[in-house]
């Protein structure tokens, strides 16, 4: 039984009809649309499985009205385990081809997310990794943005932590940074961009032979070599 088959079997246990699942992504996790339902399954198969934190954070943020993609209501909002697979279920939103969300919209959505995240319960905040600042997404890069009813919403909260907003902004374009209306340290953003490359390269190399992770690992490693060469 592979990852998608495990997700289908779990979904069917809750009465969901699945005719032909569609693989959407296979990187650090496997993501599949359980067609024809409006449900997406996220299946943990790699070395990082922060599903419990992700589900808890997304549940509270959705209740607070944050710009996030919610969990699927058809299946209990929990982390489900079948054999060796960890599975969570989310609302499916079809995406237009070659979507390019304007930087101004991304910046506004990220500021809204940061503002709403400040209202997260103290109990949940206490469970998150802390780097002594405010609650941030952790990796709001373009792959973790969906367009829903014409507005951007965030997915993937496995990396949510307490840290500087500059870390989140380092995952976005320079135009998004310029449009972000909250206070930022531009020098810290540039430092964070390099550190994002370090973190991403490390994560990708850990599972380098799965999916397209080798391409991502080599891209980020090449960038880091250029940065290092420029400083020696």
For residue 44, the domain's CATH number is: 3.30.200.20
Query: For position 229, what pLDDT does the model report?
Result: 66
Q: Which two tokens stand for residue 153?
A: 């919403």
What number is the average pLDDT over the span 57-83?
95
37 and 123 fall within a common domain? no
Q: What is the average per-residue pLDDT within 163-188?
A: 95
What does the alpha-carbon distance between residue 180 and residue 106 come to, in Å, rounded to a whole number? Answer: 9
Are 81 and 110 in the same domain? no
What's the pLDDT band for 201 if we cut at 50, 70, 90? Answer: confident
Whole-angstrom distance, CA of residue 119 vs CA of residue 192? 25
- Examine the domain organization and report whether 70 and 132 are in the same domain: no
Percent of the chain with pLDDT over 70: 91
pTM of the model: 0.86
- Higher per-residue pLDDT: 208 or 187: 187
Task: Find the domain containing 10 and state its range.
Answer: 3-91
According to the model, what pLDDT value does residue 77 have? Answer: 93
Give the model's confidence band at 228: pLDDT under 50 very low, under 70 low, under 90 confident, else very high. low
Average pLDDT on 71-89 reads: 93
Based on the number of CB atoms within 10 Å of its own CB, is 198 exposed (0-12), middle (13-18) or buried (19 or more)? Answer: middle
């Amino acid at each position: 039984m592979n990852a998608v088959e495990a997700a289908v079997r779990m979904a069917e246990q809750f009465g969901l009809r699945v005719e032909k699942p569609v693989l959407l992504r296979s990187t650090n996790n496997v993501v599949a649309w359980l067609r024809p339902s409006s449900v997406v399954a996220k299946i943990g198969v790699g070395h990082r499985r922060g599903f419990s934190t992700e589900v808890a954070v997304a549940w509270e943020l959705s209740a607070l009205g944050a710009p996030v993609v919610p969990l699927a209501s058809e299946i209990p909002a929990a982390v489900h385990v079948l054999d060796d697979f960890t599975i969570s279920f989310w609302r499916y939103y079809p995406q237009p081809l070659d979507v390019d969300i304007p930087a101004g919209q991304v910046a506004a959505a990220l500021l809204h997310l940061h503002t709403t995240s400040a209202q997260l319960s103290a109990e949940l905040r206490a469970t998150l990794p802390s780097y002594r600042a405010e609650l941030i997404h952790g990796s709001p890069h373009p792959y973790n943005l969906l367009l829903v009813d014409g507005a951007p919403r965030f997915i993937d909260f496995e990396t949510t932590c307490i840290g500087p907003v500059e870390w989140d902004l380092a995952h976005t374009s320079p135009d998004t940074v310029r449009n972000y209306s909250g206070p930022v340290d531009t020098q810290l953003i540039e430092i964070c961009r390099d550190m994002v490359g370090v973190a991403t390269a490390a994560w990708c190399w850990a599972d380098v032979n799965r999916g397209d992770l080798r391409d991502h690992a080599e891209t980020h490693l090449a960038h880091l070599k250029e940065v290092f060469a420029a400083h020696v």
